[in-house]
Chains A and B, each alone.
Chain A
Amino acid sequence: MPTKPAGTLYRGREGMWSWVGHRITGVVIFFFLLVHVLDTSLVRVSPEAYTAVIGAYKNPLMALGETGLVAAIVFHAFNGLRIIAVDFWKKGAKYQRQMLWTVLALWVVVMVGFSIRHLSLALGGH
C-alpha cells in the first residue's frame, strides 16, 4: 500500500510549490511594506532623522537584504501574472507548468541584472 498520495496533479508539484512561494514572498513583502512606510514617514519628523535612518539601508549587509527583498518582489510579480493568465486565459491551466518555468527563467534574468547593478552601486565606492 502506498504511504503517500501518488500521481496527483497538484500535491508536491509545480502548482503547489509556486503557491507556497507566492504565500511566503507575499508575507515578506507585506511586513517590509509596513516598515518602509514608517521609515519614509520620518521625512515629517526632520530631514536629519530621515537621512540617518535611511542611512541604515546603505550598509553592505542591507544591500544583500534589499537584493533578497527584490528577489521576492520579482517572483511574486511574475508568478502573479502567471496566476492571472491561469484564471483568465483559456489555455492558462493547460500551460501553467510551462508558464512557471518561464516565470523562473525571467526571474533569473532580472535578478542577475538587478544584483550586478544594485550591488556594484551599494558596495562600490562611497
Chain B
Amino acid sequence: MTATQIQSPRSGKISPQYRRSGASRGNFEMAAWLFMRLSGVVLVVLIFGHLFVNLLVGEGIHAIDFGFVAGKWADPFWQFWDLAMLWLAMLHGTNGVRTIINDYAEKDSSRFWLKAVLYAATAVIIILGTLVIFTFNPCPLDVNGIPLPGGFCPAA
C-alpha cells in the first residue's frame, strides 16, 4: 500500500512552487518580527530608567539644562545607555512605521516614497544623535577660541 506522503508544512520537503517565502526575500520579515520583541524588552528598561532619572529624581525636569547633560555624558555608562536607547528606539520605531506604511499606502509609488522619506529621516537622526553623544564638549569655544557662556571649562 503506497499512500501519498503528506509532508509537514514546515519540514521544507515541499515542492518549490508551494513555498511561501521566495529565496530572494530570505527571512527579513521574521528577523524584523523578532527584533521588535527583543528590542522592545530592552527599551522598556532603558526608557523607564531614562524617565526615572531625568524626571522623577531630585528637582525633576527643572534640573535639566546644559550642565545636566554634561554631567551625564561625563560618564561612559550614560553615554552607552543613551546610545543604545537611540539606536534601538529609532530602529524599533522605524520598523513600526514601515509596517504602518505597508498596511495603509495602497499604491506602489506611495509606499516607495513614504519609506524613502522614513529611511532618510531615520539615517539622519541616528547619525546626528550618535555624533552628538560622542563629540559632546562640556566646554565649547566660539570662533575666537573664547569659551561660550554656560559651558563647563577647567579653571585656566
A residues neighboring B (CB under 8 Å): 23, 26-27, 29-30, 33-34, 37-38, 40-41, 43-44, 46-48, 50-51, 54, 57-58, 63, 66, 70, 73, 77, 80-81, 83-84, 87-88, 114, 117-118, 121-122, 126
Could you tell me the distance between the alpha carbons of A9 and B25 in the complex, rounded to whole angstroms? Answer: 32
Q: How far is the CB of A64 from chain B (nearest CB, A)?
A: 13
Q: 14 other contacts beyond A23-B100, A81-B41, with CB at 8 A cut-off?
A: A26-B96, A33-B89, A40-B132, A41-B128, A44-B137, A47-B148, A47-B149, A48-B150, A50-B65, A57-B61, A73-B51, A83-B37, A118-B60, A126-B62
- What are 5 contact pairs spanning A and B, CB under 8 A? A23-B100, A33-B90, A43-B69, A47-B148, A73-B47
Q: Which residues of B have CB within 8 Å of A117?
A: 55-56, 60
Could you tell me the distance between the alpha carbons of A70 and B48 in the complex, rounded to whole angstroms? Answer: 10
Q: Which 8 A-B pairs have the closest CB atoms?
A: A47-B150, A121-B60, A47-B66, A30-B93, A51-B65, A80-B40, A37-B129, A77-B44
Q: How many A-B residue pairs have CB under 8 A?
A: 112
Contact A44 B89 (CB under 8 A): no
What is the size category of the interface that chain B forms with chain A? Answer: 35 or more
A34: contacting residue among B61, B70, B125, CB under 8 A: B125
Q: How far is the CB of B149 from chain A (nearest CB, A)?
A: 6
Contact B128 A34 (CB under 8 A): no
- Name the residue among A29, A80, A122 with the largest chain B CB count within 10 angstroms: A80
Chain B 23-82 residues near chain A, CB threshold 8 A: 37, 40-41, 43-44, 47-48, 51, 55-56, 59-62, 64-67, 69-70
Could you tell me the distance between the alpha carbons of A97 and B118 in the complex, rounded to whole angstroms? Answer: 34
Could you tell me the distance between the alpha carbons of A30 and B56 in the complex, rounded to whole angstroms? Answer: 22
Could you tell me the distance between the alpha carbons of A89 and B49 in the complex, rounded to whole angstroms? Answer: 26
A44: contacting residue among B37, B43, B94, B132, CB under 8 A: B132
For the complex, is B123 an interface residue (Cβ under 8 Å from A)? Answer: no
